[in-house]
Amino acid sequence: MIYRDRVAQGRRARNEKPAEMAGAQAPEAQAQAAPAISRIQPIAHGPSLFEAAERVENDTLPRISEDLGECTRCKLHRQRNRIVFGAGNPHAELVFVGEGPGHDEDVQGLPFVGRAGQLLTQMIQAMGVTRDDVYICNVVKCRPPENRAPEKDEVATCMPFLLRQLTAIGPKVIVCLGTVAVQALLGTNKGISHFRGQWLDFRGARLMATYHPAYLLRNPHAKPEVWADLKKVMAELGLKPRR
């Protein structure tokens, strides 16, 4: 079994040395001195300021959940029953990221437990693994009213927690389920058709975008396309389909 617990390693931030200050010239030498040539400091190769600000040394899923608390950071908390943080193997090599909780998830506090979740479970099992082997979460952790798509401010509020989750887990592959997930992680306005079935890089992991299980319930003819995407994931992780 390729899935095994892996201890997440802390990442240390790189320190930059301050630029050297040029020595002052004597007053009589300044008049004839040639224009000073500014020194160009080398570019530091490391995490962007955005990424570095999100990272917490030795972060863990329980710590992230504790920091999230009984969140009231955006308007989605007003009608929710339960926060849906995520579930599965905390050291999974494969993470599925969906859009947000639906009615059943809001009641149970677990991701993908309704009809779409049952289909996702079947997809995972067809890949030769179980839900306990992978990790499942969503872009937003509270149910949007009437199952509407999360709004930009709601996504922006939840994203730091999702990114911390992905960093703490350290998966090899992330599967984005649907347009909202791929737009949130890639920071784009393009629809999923622009990315579906293609390998993309995301913070040291490989990212595959495919259709959301809820879309498949409405459009079962698209199931072969999703299975083709999942077979690429299986090949990347060395998985064999269940017989």
Mean pLDDT, all residues of the chain: 85
Question: What are the structural domains of the chain?
Answer: 79-234 (3.40.470.10)
Which one has a higher pLDDT value, 30 or 210? 210
- As a whole number, mean pLDDT of residues 85-94 equals 98
pLDDT band at 202 (very low <50, low <70, confident <90, very high): very high
pLDDT at 219: 98
Statement: residue 37 has pLDDT above 60: no
What pLDDT digit, counting tens, does each position of 102-115 carry?
A: 999 999 999 999 99
pLDDT band at 54 (very low <50, low <70, confident <90, very high): low
Q: Are 177 and 97 in contact (CB under 8 A)?
A: yes
Q: What is the pLDDT of residue 242?
A: 82
pLDDT digits (tens, 9 = 90+) for 140-189: 999 999 999 999 999 999 999 999 999 999 999 999 999 999 999 999 99
pLDDT confidence of 123, banded at 50, 70, 90? very high
Residue 243's pLDDT is 74
Of all residues in the chain, the percent with pLDDT exceeding 70 is: 78
Give the model's pLDDT for residue 93: 98
- Provide the pLDDT confidence category of residue 9 given band limits of 50, 70 and 90: very low
> Would the pLDDT of 8 be above 60?
no
Report pLDDT for 1. 45
| pLDDT on residue 56 | 86
